[in-house]
């Protein structure tokens, strides 16, 4: 397993992050425990969960099975989504954050969280309130680093600017959807993260399973994440587009040439993209887990990587195409 520093910090994390969104739900406790143990045994140290995953069961399972190896693990969780019917049971207010961290610590069975992330921007709470609450958690020792997820570029930059101006702890990471079939972050977020030294930890790095190669044109799936999600980012309505199937065709061809699986090719491509620290992969079965773990410790040939780049690239858009004309070559 290879490692990288997360953003502008000295925190070393494995190049793959084990996602636990299905733990306690689609993935039962025994299979979840097996994945956690194998991940740590193979050098992985970065595990991501959230207070909302499987109604808190995910945090409970993760906490239970890292307990004896807690010091080895970089434990990440998130706060913001609704976890109770109470009027203050969601959001990024000081109350929600303070209540949320205590509840997460209890479920995780630990006294500190390595990376505490705001799950989604909260337009109803002043960003200063959110950042001050997070800074207080770092000062208290309950949290060691902070990050965010699902932010627009201006929201991230505003947060970083306020943190720098106020002397608060700043976000070291951005958890954002990013894959061969979803490269919208390339428009502004990737260059912003490069400039501000914020590490990107992509979610849905396989496009909700689309890039595994098990889906075909004209065949609506009835199972798996794409078959069960009726709405949302990883639903079939967003994935079953001609441009995505064209990308998948390239992935399948590259997989055949390299002797790797489509999932391994897709994850390996992602590992070499700018600012990408650790893709967050999920697995419903141990076989999927083992396949995904096979995406590290090798490199795609440059010619094949370029084919994937070209197949998945965003259209040449203003103002990027305009600004690129004025770059100095010295």
What's the longest Cα–Cα distance across the chain?
A: 59
Cite the active site residues. 53
R_g of the chain computed on alpha carbons: 20
Of 91, 7, 111, 6, nearest in space to 51 by CA? 91
What the block records as the tokens of 69 is: 């190896």
What gap in Å lies between CA 271 and CA 274, rounded to an integer? Answer: 8
Distances (CA, A) of 184 to 127, 141, 201, 206, 263: 24, 35, 15, 15, 20
- Residue 14 CA to residue 251 CA, distance in Å, equals 24
By the 8 A CB rule, do 83 and 90 touch?
yes
Measured between alpha carbons, how far is 238 from 233 in angstroms, rounded to an integer? 7
Residue 39, helix vs strand vs coil: helix
Q: How many CB atoms neighbour CB 34 within 10 A? A: 16
Residue 29 C-alpha from the chain's centroid: 22
- Label residue 266 exposed, middle or buried (CB < 10 Å: 0-12, 13-18, 19+): buried
Residues 59 and 107: beta-carbon distance below 8 Å: yes
Q: What is the chain's length?
A: 330
Q: What stretch of H or E contains 171?
A: strand 171-175
Of 113, 111, 105, 109, whose CA–CA distance to 75 is shortest?
113
């Amino acid at each position: 397993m290879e490692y990288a520093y997360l953003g502008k910090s000295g925190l070393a994390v494995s190049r793959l992050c084990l996602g636990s969104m299905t733990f306690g739900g689609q993935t039962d406790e025994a299979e979840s425990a097996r994945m956690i143990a194998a991940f740590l045994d193979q050098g992985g140290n970065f595990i991501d969960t959230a207070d909302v995953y499987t109604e808190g069961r995910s945090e409970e399972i993760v906490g239970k099975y890292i307990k004896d190896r807690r010091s080895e693990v970089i434990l990440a969780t998130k706060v913001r989504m609704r976890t109770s019917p109470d009027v203050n049971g969601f959001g990024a207010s000081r109350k929600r954050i303070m209540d949320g961290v205590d509840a997460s610590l209890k479920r995780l069975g630990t006294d500190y969280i390595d990376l505490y992330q705001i799950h989604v921007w909260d337009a109803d709470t002043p960003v200063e309130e959110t950042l001050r609450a997070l800074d207080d958690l770092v000062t208290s020792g309950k949290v060691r680093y902070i990050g965010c997820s699902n932010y627009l570029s201006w929201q991230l930059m505003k947060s970083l600017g306020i943190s720098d101006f106020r002397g608060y702890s700043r976000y070291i990471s951005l958890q954002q959807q990013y894959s061969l079939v979803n490269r919208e972050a390339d428009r502004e977020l990737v260059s912003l993260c490069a400039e501000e030294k914020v590490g990107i930890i992509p979610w849905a790095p396989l496009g909700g399973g689309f890039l595994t190669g098990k889906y075909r044109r004209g065949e609506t799936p009835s199972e798996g994440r794409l078959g069960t999600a009726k709405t949302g980012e990883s639903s079939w309505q967003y994935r079953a587009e001609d441009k995505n199937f064209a990308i998948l065709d390239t992935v399948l061809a590259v997989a055949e040439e390299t002797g790797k699986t489509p999932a391994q090719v897709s994850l390996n491509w992602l590992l070499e993209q700018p600012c990408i620290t650790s893709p967050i992969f999920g697995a419903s079965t141990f076989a999927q887990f083992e396949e995904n773990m096979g995406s590290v410790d090798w490199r795609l040939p440059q010619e094949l990587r370029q084919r994937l780049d070209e197949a998945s690239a965003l259209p040449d858009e203003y103002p990027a195409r305009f600004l690129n004309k004025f770059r100095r070559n010295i």
